Amino acid sequence: MATRQIVQYPHPALAMSCSPVTTFDTDLRQLAADLIDTMHAAPGVGITAAHIGVYRRVVVIELEQQLGPRIFVNPEILSASAELQEFDEGSVSMPGAVESVSRPAAIHLRYQTVDGTVREEEMSGFLATCMQHEIDQLDGIFWLQRLSRLKRERLLRKWEKSRR
């Protein structure tokens, strides 16, 4: 296990789509372990392989330390609720920047485990928001794109000022 360097905003790599995982082997398990270590070091509650410059569809989320991290390979949203919810979001690629984003309150997800087993799961609340956020990143959609132009510009000014 190792902590990997996180790609920082506005690097163009954050706009790249990730390829599906087709081989479920030791390399995939090592990637997942490295993502867990990197997420803990960031710190964050979610990370994708894209955040470390690996363009494979792998997500790690850990909302409660006592439950441990969860690994999702090739996650795909099958359906989403019409009801929306708002949570504050940010990114390990843009430390310190946080803004409220509105997303569907519940989703039906299909994914694979690190051994390739296909699973489906209903998610709601903050977990549903986190999964949608990370799947966006796998598709090359950085979370800022989900903000209104006004919110995005205000956040970027504030974030850039804090980086000086």
The full set of domains in the chain, from first to last, is 12-163 (3.90.45.10)
Give the C-alpha separation, 146 to 61, whole Å. 20
Sheet holding 58-61, edge to edge: 46-48, 58-61, 70-80, 106-112, 118-124
- Taking CA 60 as the corner, what is the angle to CA 55 and CA 63, rounded to the nearest 5 degrees? 150
- Looking at residue 1, what is its pLDDT? 64
DSSP states of 13-36: GGGPPPBPP---SHHHHHHHHHHH
Q: How far apart are CA 1 and CA 38, in angstroms?
A: 9
Q: Are the beta carbons of 59 and 109 closer than 8 angstroms?
A: no
Tell me, yes or no, if the pTM score tops 0.75: yes
Q: Are 64 and 75 in contact (CB under 8 A)?
A: no
The gap from C-alpha 122 to its chain's centroid, in whole angstroms, comes to: 17
Of 117, 119, 100, the residue nearest 109 (C-alpha): 119
pLDDT of residue 80: 98
Per-residue pLDDT, 120: 98
The pLDDT value given to residue 82? 98
Is 91 in a helix, a strand, or coil?
strand
The residues carrying an active-site annotation are: 134
* Residue 57 buriedness (CB in 10 A; 0-12 / 13-18 / 19+): buried
| Tens of each residue's pLDDT in the chain, 164 residues | 699 999 999 999 899 999 999 999 999 999 999 999 999 999 999 999 999 999 999 999 999 888 899 999 999 999 999 999 999 999 999 998 999 999 999 999 999 999 999 999 999 999 999 999 999 999 999 999 999 999 999 999 999 888 87
